[in-house]
Amino acid sequence: MTETTTTALPPPVPFKFGEHHFSHAANTLESSIIREILKHSSQPGVISFAGGLPAPDLFPIEELREAADRVLTRFGTQALQYGLSMGYGPLREFLAERLTTHGGTQLTADNILITAGSQQGLDICGRAFLERDNYVVCSRPTYLGALQAFNFYGVKYAVVNMDDEGMVVESIDPIIEKHKPRFIYVVPNFQNPTGITMSGDRRRLLVEKAQKYSVPIIDDNPYGELRYSGQSAPSIKQIGGQAVIQLGTFSKTISPGLRIGWLAASRQTMGMFERVKQSTDLHTTQFSQFVIYEFIQNGALDRHIARIKKSYHERRDAMLRAMKEFFPESVTWTRPEGGLFLWARLPEGTDAKEVLPKAIEEKVAYVPGQPFHPDGSGANTFRLNFSNATLENIHEGIKRLGRVFSSLG
């Protein structure tokens, strides 16, 4: 019989992750103020207009269950296997056809890369174009998640003001000439955070400027299909063709948890985007792509979008009505024709961040607007989301906010 001796392992050497162990880029990342606020707004009884969440009661759970079941029964081995970096072919074909008919562009599946939500589309653009100290042109305010994605690459922002027609493109020449940006970032439809839609004239002018200076445009379009009133303008991609990289997503129309978006660009640039995507995560989750493709068959996507539009339309109108009834005259706001957000302004000199604790005391939450301004301006602004609360909670929450704002004097 052999004897085995067990030698006790030495105690583990204490190992401290000092700052130098992380990359400079990681060390400079700030945690999102929205995440911080969402922590407060998830307290019991708080009516939250802070997040950007779709309505959970409108998720097509039954239909997705059936789609998932069909996928596993018919395509199980393929849906659970590794896939192509560009994405699932039939889904890319579907999107190319839909963007061609709805968006007026001429696209084929070769122009479509499936991404893990449009947030990954933003990161892919960052990886493909940005280096430390490069400039990005964007509006003031703009989507906070885009700033977070681009900040990772150590960029600076050249900001352009906004008015009721979106980015004030008329003032862009000296900005481009001075900063030589790598791209221009816009959310032309029902922008997050303001809800403002860029006018047709501004879209045409933006494309003209992009072509004049050979600067690509990133057209981030998660809300384009969610129009409740007014007329659509042609998409920037339709006007600008190859100068434009368009990002889309099923997050707002089907479900953000499935994490399926896309990047539409010219064939010449696709090889680059494909390599960047491959180096990031090999490919987007096969299973979600298959389930979405199965779900959207036979006009189901349009039927579902019609259903959520009806409900969001009611919620937007309920919020606008309540604001008119309960907000003091000193507060002004936008009247978006679609999307999930509207944007309001407190009197100059009032800081929406400082008012927020009072609102939380009244059990209602919003997002202060300053973090959406790359230059730190906009202290008196804030964003309200109208898609996630019920009609009753919209009425009650806005009433509570009205009390808070009226007490500011």
Give me the amino acid identity at 2: T
Order of strands, edge to edge, in the sheet holding 135-140? 112-115, 261-264, 244-249, 217-220, 183-186, 135-140, 156-163, 166-167
Under 8 Å between Cβ of 340 and 385 = yes
Helix or strand run (H / E) with residue 385: strand 381-385
Q: Give the three-class secondary structure for 90.
A: helix
Site residues for ligand PLP, window 63-102 (CB under 6 A)?
A: none
Place of tokens 């004030």: 168
Least distance (Å) from ligand PLP to the CB of residue 205? 21
251: contact with ligand PLP by CB under 6 A: yes
Q: Please spell the DSSP secondary structure of 11-35, one letter per residue.
A: PPPP----GGGS-HHHHT----HHH
187: contact with ligand PLP by CB under 6 A: yes
Cβ proximity to ligand PLP: between 187 and 205 the closer is 187
Least distance (Å) from ligand PLP to the CB of residue 7? 51
The count of residues interacting with ligand PLP (CB under 6 A) is 14
The pair of structure tokens assigned to 248 is 């889309």
Least distance (Å) from ligand PLP to the CB of residue 395? 25
Whole-angstrom distance, CA of residue 72 vs CA of residue 75: 6
145: contact with ligand PLP by CB under 6 A: yes
222: contact with ligand PLP by CB under 6 A: yes
Under 8 Å between Cβ of 15 and 22 = no
52: contact with ligand PLP by CB under 6 A: yes
Query: Which residue of 48, 111, 118, 286 would you call a contact of ligand PLP, by CB under 6 A?
Result: 118
Q: Which residue is nearest to ligand PLP (CB)?
A: 117
126: contact with ligand PLP by CB under 6 A: no
Least distance (Å) from ligand PLP to the CB of residue 11? 44
Query: Which residue of 54, 60, 117, 126 would you call a contact of ligand PLP, by CB under 6 A?
Result: 117
Contact set with ligand PLP (CB under 6 A) = 52, 117-119, 143, 145, 187, 192, 220, 222, 249, 251, 256, 261
